[in-house]
Amino acid sequence: MVTVVLNSLQKVTFFLTGFQGLENLHGWISVPFCSIYLTVILGNLTILHVIHTDSTLHEPMYYFLAMLALTDLGLCLSTLPTVLGIFWFSAREIGISACFTQLFFIHTLSLVESSVLFSMSIDRYMAICNPLHYSTILTPACIVKMGLSSLLRSALLILPLPFLLRRFQYCHSHVLAHAYCLHLEIMKLACSSIIVNHIYGLFVVACTVGVDSLLIFLSYALILRTVLRIASRQERLRALNTCVSHICAVLLFYIPMIGLSLVHRFGEHLPRMVHLLMSYVYLLVPPLMNPIVYSIKTKQIRERIAKKFEFGKPLRCFQ
């Protein structure tokens, strides 16, 4: 019996969906998506190259920024093949193994991004609230351990999802609503009870994104308390200015996530296009905007990029 179920699972094929009803325009729709993917790849590779090649940027803050760029790059590459495959070649079919692999990487990297943002808030807390011990606590070895722990925590929590999904037989329509595979969408296609998947999914979100967001808020409450104790107004502004880029990155990640959750939970009456656009905003906007935000708002990054590519004069307007 088990062999029969496994064999039937191996033959399961899901069908991805682009912009339903606009199939004739997929060629044109692919143009902005190609531009976004190209910008994400070039932007994050530029950040990684600048940090790697410039020894003055070998500091905790920029190591964490490199982790964020790597995560954004991985998240972008996880969805790129299927999204562009639909737009360019109408390649809608995806096997169950490929689908579950994509699902694993998308969800794992999303949790890693949340964890990296929390690590970056620790960096800002140490730099402002405990500057004397900043370099002695956040050593390269400590940063590597933080990065590996973020990756391991996320991977180990997401790893059961493909196995939980493999328990099901899929007797409903095999058509997915997006151009990539997500856990919530696939489990809705199952014939049997999905209560275990629901509970485990909520548990994963609560102990990762929920805990991370709470600790980020707490770290900024402590940072604000410390900054308000600084006598000089100029020094207060200087301290807060070092946090602007990170705050923007946090908002770029959590606002689309909250918006997507609200749309899924309370927006059943909304047009399907709203659900589709919100999912793309959640997956593509943070990787797109993070390099731009850090390039503009972080003086050291901005100057090193200008020096590398020798277009310093146009960027002086940001100084």
The whole-angstrom separation of Cα 292 and Cα 36 is 12
Q: Taking a C-beta distance cutoff of 8 angstroms, is the pair 46, 305 a contact?
A: yes
**For residue 125, which amino acid is it?**
Y
pLDDT digits (tens, 9 = 90+) for 185-201: 898 888 888 899 999 99
Residue 253: name the closest of 109, 157, 124 by CA. Answer: 109
The whole-angstrom separation of Cα 200 and Cα 165 is 12
pLDDT digits (tens, 9 = 90+) for 220-232: 999 999 999 988 8
**223-250 mean pLDDT:** 92
**106-129 mean pLDDT:** 96
The whole-angstrom separation of Cα 107 and Cα 183 is 8
Question: Which tokens is 219 given?
Answer: 């770290």
The whole-angstrom separation of Cα 157 and Cα 208 is 9
Q: Taking a C-beta distance cutoff of 8 angstroms, is the pair 288, 43 a contact?
A: yes
Residue 286: name the closest of 255, 307, 240, 309 by CA. Answer: 255
Q: How far, in whole angstroms, is CA 241 from its chain's centroid?
A: 24
pLDDT digits (tens, 9 = 90+) for 126-173: 999 999 999 899 999 999 999 999 999 999 999 999 999 998 888 767
DSSP output for 176-196: -SSSS--HHHHHTT-SS--HH
User: Per CATH, which fold does 14-304 belong to?
Assistant: Rhopdopsin 7-helix transmembrane proteins (1.20.1070)
36 vs 259, which has greater pLDDT?
A: 36
Strand 93-95 versus strand 13-15 pairing type? antiparallel
Instruction: Give the position of tokens 């602007």.
Output: 244
The whole-angstrom separation of Cα 137 and Cα 130 is 10
What pLDDT is attached to residue 107? Answer: 96
**Domain locations in the chain?**
14-304
Question: 95: part of which helix (H) or strand (E)?
Answer: strand 93-95
The whole-angstrom separation of Cα 112 and Cα 153 is 8
Q: What average pLDDT is seen over the chain?
A: 89
Between the alpha carbon of residue 281 and those of residues 126, 141, 255, the distances in Å are 32, 35, 10
Is 0.75 topped by the overall pTM?
Answer: yes
